Amino acid sequence: MSKEIVHDDAEMTFGEHLDELRKILMRVICIFGALFCVLFALKGIVLDVVLAPVLENFPTNRFFNWMAEMMGSEALRISPDSVDLYNTKMAGQFLLHIKSSLVGAFVIAFPYLIWELWLFVKPALPPHQRKKSFRYVLETPVWFVLGLLFGYFIIAPLAINFLGNYQVSEQINNIIGVDSFMNTVISVSFAAAIAFQLPLLIRLLATMGIVTSEGMRQYRKVAVAALLIFAAIITPPDVVSQVLIFVPCYVLYEYGIGIAARIEAARAKEEAEYEAAMAAEKAKAEEEAKRKAEEEAAQQEQEDANEKDATNEVDDTDDTTSEDTPEEAETESENSDDDEDEGVEEEFEEITSPLGTAMMPKFPEKIGEAPKKRKIVYSVATEEPEEDNSTEQSEA
C-alpha cells in the first residue's frame, strides 16, 4: 500500500507499469485466496446463504406471503416448498461448494479490487481529477452491494417461485438441478448489481459532457422502454419480476437526472468563476499596461522639459553675450586701455632733463628681474615764443 505514491511526480516506463500491475494483481490474488479459503472452510454458512431463497422463512418469502394475505391475492404468494433441488452429477455438490465460495470471496473482495485499480490509475490522473475520481472508488462498491442485495432478496425469490412452479403440462415434473438453481441466483443478483451502477454511469457521462439533464428529460419515454426491455432480459419471464426490477431502475434514472443537473450547475459555476478570473486578470493586465504607459509618458515629458530648460539656459547665455551695445563695447575697451595704461604708468618713472621729461622704466629691484614693460614715452617741454604786439598793431 505504500507504493502508490512512488511515481506520482515522475513518469513511469512501460516496464515499471507492468511491474506495478503485477504487484497489484499479486495483492488482489492473495486477498481473494485468503477469503476463498475462509469461506470454503465455513461450508455450512455459505450453503445456507445460497439455499436461503427456497426456504419458507426467508425474509422476502414471508413478506410476500403477508402481502398476499393482506390483499387477498394468491398471485403474490410464494410457495418455495414445491421446489426440490437435485444433484445429477457426481461432483455436483463439491462444485457447488467451490462455486459458492468463489462468488462469496469475489463479493467481499470487490471493494478492495476497486481500490487497487484506482491506485494503479491514480498516478496518471491530474491532481484536480484525483479527488473527483476517488468518489467513484467509494460509490462503486456501495451501489454494487445495494444492487446485489436487491437482486438476492427481491428478484431471486420471485424468479425461483415463478420458474420452479411453472408447468406446461401436469404430466411433466420439474427436477431442478442444484447447478441450475445456483446459476439463477447468481445471474439475477449480479444483474441487479450491474443495474445499480446506472447513477455512476450517468455521472461519468455527464462529467464528460456526453449526456445532459435536458436530454434525459426529453428522451424519458425512450429510457422507460429501454429499462423495461432490460428488466425483461435480466429477470424471469413474469410480469411481477419485471416490474420489481424496472421500478428501482427508473428511480435510479430519475436520480441520474438530478446528478446530471448538479454536474451541469457545478460546471457552469466553474466556467463563470474562470471567466471572472480571466476578466479580472485581463483588467489587471490592462491597468498595468496603462500605468506603465503613463509612467513612460511622464518620464518622456520630464526628459523633454529638462532638455528644453537646458536649451533655454544656453540661449539666454548667448543672448546676454550678444546683446552688448557698441557704446558698452567701446566703454569696456576704454576701461581696459585705461587699466593697461595705469599699469604701465605704475611701471615707469619720470626722468626730467633740460631737454624735457622722459619716462624711463624702473630698474628691477633684483638683479635678473626684467621690467614688465619696455615702452619709453618721451615728453618734450617746449616754450612757445611770445607774439610781438607792436607788429600786430602796425599790420592792423
| Set of cell numbers at residue 34 | 485468503
Rounded average pLDDT over 98-119: 91
- Interval 318-348: pLDDT, tens: 555 555 555 555 555 555 555 544 444 445 5
Confidence (pLDDT) at 29: 92
pLDDT band at 103 (very low <50, low <70, confident <90, very high): very high
pLDDT band at 33 (very low <50, low <70, confident <90, very high): very high
Rounded average pLDDT over 195-201: 89
- Interval 247-287: pLDDT, tens: 888 999 999 999 999 988 888 888 888 888 888 888 888 88
pLDDT band at 228 (very low <50, low <70, confident <90, very high): confident
Confidence (pLDDT) at 108: 93
d(CA 320, CA 390): 66
Q: Please, are residues 98 and 40 in contact by the beta-carbon 8 Å criterion?
A: yes
d(CA 338, CA 64): 145
Q: 81, 83, 96, 78: which is closest to 178 by C-alpha?
A: 96
Select the more confidently predicted residue: 164 or 195.
195
Helix (H) or strand (E) holding 350: strand 348-353
Q: Where is average pLDDT lowest: 149-158, 208-217, 342-351?
A: 342-351
pLDDT band at 131 (very low <50, low <70, confident <90, very high): confident
DSSP letter string, 162-201: HHHH--S-TT----EEHHHHHHHHHHHHHHHHHHTTHHHH
Rounded average pLDDT over 12-29: 84
Say which residues have a Cβ less than 8 Å from residue 162's Cβ, sequence separation at least 6: 236, 237, 238, 240, 241
Q: Which of 4-8, 108-112, 295-299 has the highest mean pLDDT?
A: 108-112
The chain-wide mean pLDDT, for the chain, equals 77
Confidence (pLDDT) at 142: 93
d(CA 258, CA 348): 125
Rounded average pLDDT over 80-107: 85
| Burial of 83 per CB tally in 10 Å (0-12, 13-18, 19+) | middle
Q: Where is average pLDDT lowest: 52-61, 77-86, 113-122?
A: 77-86
